[in-house]
Amino acid sequence: MGYWLFKTEPDTFSIDTLKQQKVSCWEGVRNYQARNMLRDEVKVGDQVLIYHSSCKHVGVAGVATVTRECYPDHTQFEPDSGYFDPKATPEAPRWFMVDVAYQRHLPLITLAQMKQNPALAEMPLVKKGNRLSVMPVTAAQWQAILTMAGESCIVR
């Protein structure tokens, strides 16, 4: 089973939004490195940390699970969408998405806290200038983050 961290701007889509919707597609990834991971490596059943970025309290806010693998992101074909890509066609889609299901909230683990934890030093997230919106998380990093959230005894 794989572990991931997905970034989202909570003003647009937060862990609360996901809880309400229960299951949601994860649209709008427009970065090739992130896309390639969504397309090639993210699998049904993988666990995902939901990270709130570009907001007042940045950090990991909850956990989701992947319920559908890689399919074309429909927003790339919609001219009214902010994610529209004129170079994409249904025959040759450029961007992909997966579906995720809400699992649970976590007490917010802030980016500042994560930067303090040596076990997380290798995460792209805590490195300067990081812009990756979908990133892999190792089992050790996953465990360290859940421990910070007070879930050290929970193995799922």
Partner DNA sequence: GCCAACGTTGGC
Write out the residues near DNA by the rule CB under 7 A: 7, 30-33, 53-55, 58, 111-112, 115, 127-133
Cβ nearer to DNA, comparing 68 with 83: 83
Cβ nearer to DNA, comparing 24 with 113: 113
> Alpha-carbon distance 122 to 74, whole Å?
33
Cβ nearer to DNA, comparing 30 with 74: 30
Query: 138 near 146, Cβ under 8 Å?
Result: no
The minimum distance between CB 46 and DNA, in angstroms, equals 20
Give me the residue label for tokens 């990133």.
135
Cβ nearer to DNA, comparing 80 with 153: 80
> Alpha-carbon distance 99 to 78, whole Å?
19
Type and span of the H or E element at 147: helix 139-148
The minimum distance between CB 111 and DNA, in angstroms, equals 5
Helices and strands of the chain, counted as H and E runs:
4, 6
The minimum distance between CB 133 and DNA, in angstroms, equals 5
Query: 90 near 77, Cβ under 8 Å?
Result: yes
What φ, ψ does residue 25 adopt, rounded to 5°? -75, 155
The minimum distance between CB 83 and DNA, in angstroms, equals 9
Give me the residue label for tokens 């309290």.
57
Cβ nearer to DNA, comparing 57 with 104: 57
The minimum distance between CB 63 and DNA, in angstroms, equals 18
